[in-house]
Amino acid sequence: MLAIPLDINNIKAIVFDLDNTLVSSNMDFQWLRQKIGCPLDEDLLSYVEALPCSKESAIAQQLILDHELNDAQHSSPMPGCLELLRYIEHNQLHTAIVTRNCIEATQQKLTLNQLNIERVICREHFPPKPAPDSLIALANEWGLQASEVLYVGDYLYDLQAALNALMPSCLVSHGHDYHFSQHASVVVEHLSDLCLLFEQTLQPQTSV
């Protein structure tokens, strides 16, 4: 899997993942998998959706929802989040959130952390990542080419979704050395580093 090359001078929109990208999250997916019986090599949401018993599926979905809502009450902005959002607003770039979270938990996190992002796409709206549908829809909505949209996230699904949409991607590593980091167009430790990268790249060149 190769990353789409990033040309910062060409970027007109920045789209974000939510959990551990814009706001903190302590979702215990290992615990959820154990409770639901989802194997480690299967996507949790896809596994629950494919459960043959509707009652079992409903119980699993409620377990995930309850865990998401509890997680939402303890979230806080990630380092550089507010700084980068101010930069985006000041420079009139398009922005949105594409998350695998449910609508209710997502809205709670945005309200609690006072994040005013108008365009928010959750798993109820489009097939969840790594499906590219939501990213493609945003580019079409804004009238942009895929190369003009940067998707920012902290996990492999984010990089896969961007690649599937033919978009450049940014991995926020939080200081971790992920085995999938080579699949990102650019890797930064925190969102503040991405903001600095934009500021340094796009700053006017002074004549000598």
pLDDT in tens, 30-69: 877 877 888 877 778 777 777 888 877 788 877 887 778 8
Q: Which pLDDT band holds residue 206 (cuts at 50, 70, 90)? A: very low
**pLDDT attached to residue 26:** 79
User: In the sheet that 149-153 helps form, which strands lie side by side, from edge to edge?
Assistant: 120-121, 94-98, 13-16, 149-153, 169-172, 186-188
Domain boundaries 8-23+78-202, corresponding CATH code: 3.40.50.1000
Least confident segment among 32-46, 71-85, 128-142: 32-46
29-72 is a CATH 1.10.260 domain: yes
**pLDDT attached to residue 64:** 81
pTM of the model: 0.84
* 3-state DSSP assignment of residue 169: strand
Sketch the domain layout of the chain as residue ranges. Answer: 8-23+78-202, 29-72
* Cβ atoms within 10 Å of 124's Cβ, excluding its own: 11
Alpha helices in 37-155 (DSSP H): 44-49, 54-72, 81-90, 103-112, 133-142
